[in-house]
Amino acid sequence: MENTTIAALATPPGKGGIAIIRVSGGQAEELLRAVFKPASGKEAFSSHLLMYGHVEQGGAVLDECMAVLMKAPRSYTREDVAEIHLHGGEYVASRVLSLLWALGAVPAQPGEFTKRAFLNGRVDLSRAEAVMQLIEASGERSARAALRDLAGGASQFIRSAQDELTGILSGVSAALDYPEEISQEESAGDLLPRLQALENRLLRACDERSARILERGLEVVIVGRPNVGKSSLLNLLLGEERAIVTDEAGTTRDIVRGSTTLAGVRVNFSDTAGIRESEQKAERIGIDLAKKSLAGADLALAVFDRGEDMREEDRAILALIDRQPHILVLNKSDLAPNPAWPEGLSISARTGEGLEELKRAIASYAGQAGESELSLLRHIRLARRAAEALGAAREAISRGEPLDLAAIHLHEALYALGEVTGDQVTDGLLDRIFSSFCVGK
């Protein structure tokens, strides 16, 4: 890293108002001077001053642009960083990048700028991950959680746990080093409640369902027998004509998906084939797909035609959703109701009546997504691993086993927490994390 200067496009490729090329490393200023000529004619490049000028190659102007030099350590990577702000367009950006590479820069790998920020101590690993978390945020809650982590929220929580664990380990070490002064029974009486409290604190932060909803969205599957208005409901929820709607039963054969945002949470809807007995092979395949989608859903919207009598197919659907979170949606509220139906939310997919109440009900199933101290699945799994190691240490002490064994479990917990912040990290782990980043970030 010390011997290379990297360059990459920091904005999305393609046509746009502006294209920003970012350069980081020891040659950043040299490369900027080689390609950028300030209109002022000044030779001195002041740090953090946006300059107007031209990108040139062999005296030929490639673009009219702006450029800025940010001297280390006051930069994103804590290295010298240069940025060239070009007119957006594939040709000019590609031409300038090729020029920089010909002059000695190397193409940046995915996430390499942020990786350098981590390796140079500007951010810890959890804050580095928050950068990509914010870029990929699909709703207000996920963006808010990412901003909290970017400000050090997850890091502060984990470092507080590390400090407590280090204190516990100090007590174990003291008992091991001075057994004539501190008995194991005396030490255990002090350590057990502290271990239990820390284990509980970590487990309370391990809400994997909420983290998954933040990352991927709330998965909602719409089920019902044919022609009860499932596709119409999907179109109404999305505010667009996504699914085909006809009077013919069995129109939907495949899964039709669409996403929207409700109460700051991304919600992924799946409209499925009407569930019934069918002799048609294509429809049977669609029905099987519907049942599989239902099994993996966070929430089922079971749609019924409240103007008709309950059929055997409707009873089968009620049995199918009985053991998972669901909302009974009684469609066609603009028609006279049949009193035989169980209590549910009445809507009209034709007029939109009841839609807002249904949206609120759906959003409520996201729970407290984004409110926990930890919001990334990787962090949660490591915190859970640390809690399990603490539990093993607590059980070993409770059984009267030697403190050396408990110390091994405590070090396992400390190592797991260190993988969140980057205190304990391998090249392989860094490669896996930063490979998911975009090039130029």
* Max mean pLDDT range (185-189, 278-282, 326-330): 326-330
Percent of the chain at pLDDT above 90?
A: 41
Does domain 213-364 fall into CATH 3.90.79.10?
no
Task: Give the 3-state secondary structure of residue 112.
Answer: helix
Task: List the domain boundaries for the chain.
Answer: 6-122, 137-206+374-434, 213-364
Question: Residue 79 corresponds to which tokens in the numbers above?
Answer: 């290295």
pLDDT tens for each residue of 209-252 = 888 888 888 999 988 888 888 888 888 888 876 554 444 444 44
CB-based contacts of 133: which residues, under 8 Å, 6+ apart?
A: 142, 145, 146, 149, 150, 375, 376
CA dist., res. 340 & res. 411, Å (int): 62
- pLDDT bin (cut points 50, 70, 90) of residue 40 is confident
pLDDT at 288 over 70: no
Average pLDDT of the residues in 98-127: 93
Query: Alpha-carbon distance 301 to 39, whole Å?
Result: 63
pLDDT at position 248 is 46
Nearest to 332 by CA among 307, 357, 300: 307
Distance CA 52, CA 92 (A): 17
The predicted-structure confidence for 354-409, as pLDDT tens digits, reads as follows 899 999 999 998 877 767 889 899 999 999 999 999 999 999 888 888 888 888 99
414 C-beta neighbours (distance < 10 Å), count:
20
Question: What CATH code is assigned to 6-122?
Answer: 3.30.1360.120
Q: Which architecture characterizes domain 137-206+374-434 according to CATH?
A: Up-down Bundle (1.20)
Mean pLDDT of 198-212: 92
